[in-house]
Amino acid sequence: MSDNRGRDGGFRPRRETGKRPVARGGEKKFAPHDGKPSFGEKKFVPRDGKPSFGEKKFAPRDGKPSFGEKKYAPRDGKPSFGEKQFAPRREHAPNIAPRRVALETLLDVSRSDAYASLALDKRLAQAALGQRDRAFVTQLVYGTLENRLTLDWRIDQFLEGDKEIDPTVREILRMGAYQLFYLDRVPDMAAVDESVSLTRAMGLEALTGLTNAVLRNMIRGKDSVQFPKPQEDPIRYLSVMFSAPRELVRMLVDAYGEHETLEILRYRPKDRSVTVRVNGLRCDDARLRALLADSELEFSPGLLPGTYKVKQAGDLTRMRAFQNGLFTIQGESSVLAARMVGAKPGQTVLDACAAPGGKTAVLSEMMQDTGRVYAWDTHAHRVDLIRGTVNRLKLENVRPAVKDEAAPRPEVAMTLDAALVDAPCSGTGVMLEKPDVKYRVSEAGVAALCRMQAEILDAVAPMVKVGGTLVYSTCSILPMENQQQVSAFLERHPEYEVFPMGGELPPALAAHETQTGLQMFAHRDGTDGFYVCRLRRVKA
């Protein structure tokens, strides 16, 4: 599926106001040590002066010890008899390496509008981190992104004056606040200290005090934060509490109402799993289950035959079975969309928006690697992804190509047995896996995507033979991209009609199919938020 999404503009540039932001509440002030001590502060005299009353006086290390004082040999010499030798004391060095990788990834997203998954893969590839640190970085990046607006609401209540602080410090505060309020295994003070160290490491020494004070005050005042009230402003409440931009919330409320929008936004799966699908041309279910068991992976059958949900999967791409093409990683809703095409051996089929090639592979395998599967995408680097997928799975009947899916092709009219259009979309159905998606959604952006989807459908529709199948799908939950798009298509193309999927669907999903297709939801169906509609050409 191609990605063509709008952007929310990212961060506004910092406004120079002449005032430096300061933290609110509870910050301690220390007098300089060259002045008089404040009340309750101990004052120490220099070691070359006389001790105050009650202070012990120690002889210099090169002199004789006083009565009862132990004598220690120089650290670079041998210890005396019975004396323990201690290594020089080391100052605590915060482990900021993983957090710095996470920070740089988040800055790639906020400053350069990079996709989080691609930015994270690139940063992890450049960093020499162990598996545990890599997992922590991944959790920190996605957790901070997923809760960004909620974290900002908390942070802003502990800032006085200008809220437009340095973007790097803002991102460090988000990461720190995420560790404080969402990660039980990170001690509060460790989150604070390492956030301060990270601020310093980024060359922002002057702002370390701000980082320290805001996070410490957030700990002290965590129960005093005032959140929006749903009865006063439901859109604002849903936006802040579930970290979704107001424009997106408004579109969801218009489509589904406040209660269902609440269910959509607040859903978080208890166990995050990865879905894998067996390559039926090179493996079977029994062998795949044995391979997963041999790797000591916990798994369970998915909704569709040949699919399995793997818990705590780690990096499955390192498995030799994956590299040898015995299985692939693919969401169930994606598999379902491709299977609804009903491709048969010897047919000619088009996957119009094919990258990265998962659905193309399903079509090829259904056809027993016979006939022809054309796999198109607009961008050359994405077509390379398709080639990588089919080469790993050792599929011979696929023909990847760089082609504009929306361009009319009269020479190809009525030559296809079937076509799949998994169109570019808002991605609102995969916000759980790709939390950066939701910050790019806008009404103008979705309207532009709808126009593109219509153009692709209009270009592909004439290519299908009479009696052939056209499947339209998106990873969106917005009706304007799905049911409304299909209804408009049928008005423009009376030669098509909806071809119900019925008994080919798992019973739990079949119950939700309507006259304009099937809309899946993560909170209801345990799949990605995905839309699939199957159409059949009934006349020329």
- Read off the tokens for 93: 């060095």
- The whole-number pLDDT of residue 95 equals 58
Q: DSSP of 421-482, one letter per residue?
A: EE-----GGGTTT-GGGGGG--HHHHHHHHHHHHHHHHHHGGGEEEEEEEEEEES---GGGT
Q: How far apart are CA 154 and CA 168, in angstroms?
A: 17
What is the pLDDT at residue 185? Answer: 87
Q: What is the pLDDT of residue 43?
A: 45
Residue among 393, 320, 400, 329 at smallest CA distance from 361:
393
pLDDT for 160 equals 82
Q: Which residues belong to the active site? A: 475
Average confidence (pLDDT) per 10 residues, the chain, 540 residues: 42 41 51 44 45 44 46 43 41 68 96 93 92 93 97 94 88 97 92 96 96 96 93 97 97 97 94 93 97 95 96 89 97 97 98 97 98 97 97 98 96 97 97 95 97 98 98 98 98 98 94 96 96 97
Mapping DSSP to helix (H, G, I), strand (E, B) and coil, where does residue 286 land? Answer: helix
Checking DSSP bridges between strand 531-537 and strand 496-498, what pairing results, if any? antiparallel
Helix spans in 113-233 (H): 116-126, 131-146, 148-156, 167-182, 188-201, 208-220
Q: What is the pLDDT of residue 23?
A: 64
Spell out the residues 6+ positions from residue 1 whose beta carbon is closer than 8 angstroms to its own. Answer: 353, 355, 422, 423, 424, 425, 474, 475
The reported pLDDT for the residue numbered 161 is: 75
| Predicted local confidence at residue 539, as pLDDT | 96
- Could you tell me the domains of the chain? 95-224 (1.10.940.10), 234-266 (no CATH), 273-329 (3.30.70.1170), 332-537 (3.40.50.150)
Distance CA 396, CA 372 (A): 9
Query: 284 in helix, strand or coil?
Result: coil
pTM of the predicted model as reported, rounded to 2 decimal places: 0.81
Judged on CB neighbours under 10 Å (0-12, 13-18, 19+), 36 is exposed
